[in-house]
Amino acid sequence: MGVIIINPYSQISGASPSPPSGLYSEDNVGNGTSNFGDSKVTLTDSIYGVQHDRALDGKPIEVRAGFTSTFEFNGQMTGTATSISWTVNTIDNFAGLVTGITPNTGTAINFAPVFSINPSGNPGDMAIFEVDFTAVNSAGSGNVVFDVVLILP
């Protein structure tokens, strides 16, 4: 007669997750890829209206004094996140060009900060911001930073 031994300490586990990676943004119509520099946003402002396929590549984006500019980020990644964070960080707000950002943080996969432009702004005023997108799970985190440069022509 044989003996069967069952180890009560054995564990059955599935594959462990990988950290989120390849973070990027698509615009509202699906443009954008995870290749470096190929993220896109939808920009809505009083100068050109709704603009899809807008890159945030460090080139200045024209704004109008006294109006707002809305940047719609649609976060994408490889893997699954258990938490998401978006943060707008001010690098330089020369002459107070931007008077407010609402919201300046977020926890959903999509994020749409509205930048309010100073009605007393002068031609040549600039502002530089970084929008930080971070995704986290039990295996780690992934991150990407977008540069937003605004200028009053």
Task: Convert the pLDDT of each residue in 119-138 to its tens digit.
Answer: 999 999 999 999 999 999 99
- So what's the pLDDT on residue 130? 97
- So what's the pLDDT on residue 29? 96
Closest CA to 65 of 125, 117, 123: 117
Note the residue count of the chain. Answer: 153
Q: What is the pTM of this model?
A: 0.88
Q: What are the C-alpha distances in Å from 20 to residues 59, 70, 83, 119, 153?
A: 28, 26, 10, 41, 39
- So what's the pLDDT on residue 141? 97
Buried b (16+ CB within 10 A) or exposed e, 106-121: beeeebbbebbbbeeb
Q: Partners of 78 in the beta sheet?
A: 21
DSSP assignment of 51-92 equals: EEEEE-BS--EE--TT-EEEEEEEEEEES--SEEEEEEEEEE
Q: Is 79 left (phi over 0), alpha (psi -120 to 50) or beta?
A: left
Task: Convert the pLDDT of each residue in 90-105 to its tens digit.
Answer: 999 989 999 999 999 9
Alpha-carbon Rg of the chain, whole angstroms? 21
- Regions of the chain with pLDDT less than 50: 9-10
- So what's the pLDDT on residue 10? 45
| Residue 138, number of CB atoms within 10 A of its CB | 9
